[in-house]
Amino acid sequence: MRLTRLAAGVTAAVVGAASLVTAAVASGPAQAAPSPGAKLDGDLVAAYSRAGATGTANLWVRMSDRADLAGAPKLKDRAVRGRTVVDGLKAKADRTQSPVLKALKDAGLTGRSYWATNAVYVANVPEKVALKLAAIPGVAELRPSRTYRVQQPIVSPKPEPKAKLEPKARLEPKAKARLKAAAESGVAWGVADIKADQVWSRTGRHGEGLVVANVDTGVQYDHPALVRQFRGTNGDGTFTTDYNWYDPSGTCKTAMPCDNAGHGSHTMGTMVGDDGQGERIGVAPGAKWIAAKGCETDSCSDTSLLAASQWMLAPTDRNGQNPDPAKRPDVVNNSWGSQPSNDPLFEDVQLAWAAAGIMGVWANGNNGPNCETAGAPGSRTINYSVGAYDAGGKIASFSSRGPGQDGTVKPNISAPGVDVRSSIPGGQYATMSGTSMATPHVAGAVALLWSARPEYRQDLAKTRELLNLTAIDTPDDQCGGTPENNNVYGEGRLDVLAAVTAGTAGLSDLSGTVTDAASGRPLAGATVHVTGPMDRSFTTGADGAYRFRLVAGKYEISTTAFGYVTGTTTLTLAKDGSATQGVALAPTPRVDLTGTVTDGSGKGGGLPAKVTAEDGDGHTWAATADASGRYALPLLPNLSYTVTYASTEPGYDPATRKVALGAAGQTQDVALTVSLACIAKGYKVTRDGSTEGFDASRLPKGWQVTNVDPHIPNYAYQPGWQFTDPGKRGNHTGGTGGFAVVDSRHTGPGHVQDTYLTSPVYDLSKRTKATVEFAEDLKPAINSTTSLDVSLDGGRTWTTAWTAKGFPGAPGPSVRVVPVPQANGKANVRYRLHYRGQNSGWWAVDNAFTGDRTCTPSAN
């Protein structure tokens, strides 16, 4: 279950009030202020358009100015820190909202001020008044009020007898066993899965001294599993709601906490539930709880959600008076959010929570299994969100995946969220599924951690770090990320015992560089594995560097790299310290592959070259042959290699050889041949055949132009190959005089071309090096295709000898050489140049040669 927006689509979140905190504006050239109309959100403009001239709208007036809360986290005293945040927010709101409130009063309207987000809510505002409000300096934006609702549960809540728990048949055997064991032990399977019960037994702490809260549908305050933990319970049968309960909409018929939807009681039960008689459904049953009813029923107005979120910063008495930040909760569970979106949602309030030391935890959403389905606020970088898995440790199909804002991995962590048994109104219990059910496991775990290790209370950064570092890595690459941190499980599956243990020992940094002991160069691809209080691995990059953030303690470090002797050492990391450990690996024994690289096309002599060996598993070694062609390449013995020889002098084709090395060295000589272009030094091209220069500015005798109807609707048929340079581009092929061209960008509207230029028949019966060669200037586009086809039967059948599609083309002057060995000894040979494109450039061709083309040593 997860609260989601009722209105279709999520634009920029609830309220302009929900936008990201505005950064200070840098000084610069003065710019014209936006017109008042430009400050009206598009949805608000549409609402006024639908309402007509006399219509009104409920809206938010968002101010641009924000309080500076940067110094609050530095304050050690919790009460002072909370008061500093609230005072700063209120002072900013009082100072900046007064012109808006006055304008509303002058218009006969009453606004409700929200200091946590520096915004004013006002109902029934005519458009002309909205425009006046937008014109007030300091007003950033006006947005319409929106509505949210509780999403239908993934597994419908069905009240069941207190001791009964029926595993669902769809679960795998391992998950069924976990559920059965939970039913027999009296500890909810999720509580046991994250090892909360082991924290209780090992530390004696159950969340004592901490206060958790939820913004939800309310809570049944006297539920057997929740009544003892309610902060308003006086112990004598009476209850105090001051500072412990807030119902901004007045939905509950009495002053006492209620839950008319069931969702809030269920999430609260997972955080702290325990009836004291064996029904242990909560992670931190020693903590106290308070709550604010952000949702009236299964729908949630933005005014109630924002009021509830603001109240968490400074709870009030039952009359909404005498706010006291010292009574704020430590942790707030938020099993609500938008449909898939990265838009800011109450983000300035969330930043204020963090400034005050309140740890907010958010559901990631129930819109899986597709990627990019996380919803705000959980999808935002600043917030900590939770995915859901079942009793077998498998991610739930419904659990939303990331990435979130700006590619941030989401969820941050995963927790039990399938078939979670917890409290519901009426003093009953039910099994539900959703990221709503997973999130309170994390919220409760934070309370348990802070109770066992109070030095982390209010330190949100270190708390996140402990949760992340100790989460059980669960690889899943379907939505990106790494095995250790991916967009399905986040950092992994929650382990609160490991977090508490790590918090007790403290954290430390370990870093270093892996090098080759013989040369001192950094080694890429080396694996550094540490074993101790944590088990982690790191693979080095090009710089050879590695780095870990670890729980302090004694570690064994093992470093491996292909072709090197494994290095091992031990190291003790101090609490809150750092250590540097360089690793120099000795190469394993090598044998030499030696030989000489020479010219194999007639000139002879040695060639300088790069020699590269690859073993088939991604490992490569390289050496350089000198001017005489001699090389020596040290390699690992008893392996097979593919060795590539590439001349560093231009004009030679590379060559590859398969080499199987034994325990001894080996010699491999290689002769490289001149490439088809014949640009190697000391070589010349010899041609024996026919050349067409296209110099007559018309179709040459024996040649044909064939234009194919492209059958593209709404475009006229266009002429194809031409010989008069209709685009006046000039001959840039490298040839001179006339040339053939198909000019897709010049020829008429639509510029559609599908055209062939076909040669006469050539007798190549005495040829042994048959080649087609031509000068060209090819300006392509993404949808253009060029090719050369060859026919051996005078044009009855064709095969493609060369083709190119799209970029990069061949800007002139350029030469295209296409060997056609199939034409050797044939008497009825034709070839054709085919161009296909639409408004996609041109292809100019000149000096088209057909016959024997050889590359031979020149006299000099």
For the chain, 860 residues long, the average pLDDT of each consecutive 10-residue run is 39 35 34 74 91 91 95 96 98 96 96 96 95 95 79 47 34 68 83 97 98 97 97 96 96 94 96 88 98 88 94 97 98 91 88 98 94 94 97 96 97 97 95 96 98 97 97 96 96 97 96 96 96 94 96 97 95 95 95 97 95 93 96 95 97 96 95 93 94 94 88 61 91 95 75 89 96 94 89 97 90 94 97 89 95 89
Helix intervals (H) in 611-700: none
Nearest Cα residue to 334 out of 368, 308, 299, 314: 308
Report how far residue 850's alpha carbon sits from residue 824's, in angstroms, rounded to the nearest whole number: 11
Nearest Cα residue to 194 out of 208, 209, 178: 178
Q: Which contiguous run of DSSP H or E holds residue 192?
A: helix 189-193
Nearest Cα residue to 260 out of 320, 215, 216: 216
Q: What is the pLDDT of residue 753?
A: 83
CB 289 within 8 Å of CB 211: yes
Report how far residue 402's alpha carbon sits from residue 476's, in angstroms, rounded to the nearest whole number: 12
Residue 637 neighbours by CB distance under 10 Å: 13
Q: Which amino acid is at 225?
A: A
Report how far residue 737's alpha carbon sits from residue 767's, in angstroms, rounded to the nearest whole number: 29
Report how far residue 228's alpha carbon sits from residue 239's, in angstroms, rounded to the nearest whole number: 11
Q: Is 176 helix (H, G, I), strand (E, B) or coil?
A: helix
What count of Cα atoms within 13 Å lies in the side-chain half-sphere of residue 576? 3
Q: Token pair for residue 596?
A: 């000489």
Q: Which residue has the tokens 């270093």?
A: 512
Sign of CA dihedral 439, 442, 447, 450: negative
Residue 151 neighbours by CB distance under 10 Å: 25
Please provide residue 427's backbone torsions phi and psi, each rounded to the nearest 5 degrees: 70, 20
Report how far residue 4's alpha carbon sits from residue 378's, in angstroms, rounded to the nearest whole number: 12
CA 784 → CA 754, 777, 854, distances in Å? 10, 14, 31
Report how far residue 245's alpha carbon sits from residue 232's, in angstroms, rounded to the nearest whole number: 8
CA 127 → CA 11, 51, 89, 134, distances in Å? 21, 10, 29, 10
Report how far residue 828's alpha carbon sits from residue 838's, in angstroms, rounded to the nearest whole number: 33
CA 833 → CA 337, 578, 742, distances in Å? 60, 68, 10
Q: What is the pLDDT of residue 258?
A: 96
The strand pairing partners of 812, in sequence order, are none
Q: Which amino acid is at 240?
A: T
Report how far residue 227's alpha carbon sits from residue 225's, in angstroms, rounded to the nearest whole number: 6
Torsion on CA atoms 437, 439, 442, 448, rounded to nearest 10: -70
Q: What is the pLDDT of residue 156?
A: 43
Q: What is the pLDDT of residue 185?
A: 78
Q: Which residues, including other chains, have CB under 8 Å from residue 750's CB and lie 6 or more apart?
A: 712, 714, 715, 716, 718, 838, 839
CB 61 within 8 Å of CB 109: no
Q: What distance separates the 2 farthest-apart alpha carbons in the chain?
A: 114
Q: Which amino acid is at 251?
A: T
CB 618 within 8 Å of CB 524: no
Residues in the chain: 860
Q: Which domains are delineated in the chain?
A: 3-23+33-150 (3.30.70), 173-501 (3.40.50.200), 506-585 (2.60.40.10), 591-672 (2.60.40.1120), 683-857 (2.60.120.200)
Q: Is 258 helix (H, G, I), strand (E, B) or coil?
A: coil
Q: What is the pLDDT of residue 397?
A: 95
Q: Which contiguous run of DSSP H or E holds residue 547?
A: strand 545-551
Nearest Cα residue to 211 out of 290, 268, 285: 290
Please provide residue 763's backbone torsions phi and psi, each rounded to the nearest 5 degrees: -95, 105
CB 263 within 8 Å of CB 335: yes
CB 92 within 8 Å of CB 67: yes
CB 269 within 8 Å of CB 432: no
State the Cα angle at 122 between 120 and 126, rounded to 5°: 130
Residue 46 neighbours by CB distance under 10 Å: 13
As annotated, the active-site residues are 216, 263, 436
Could you tell me if residue 385 is left (phi over 0), alpha (psi between -120 and 50 degrees) or otherwise beta?
beta
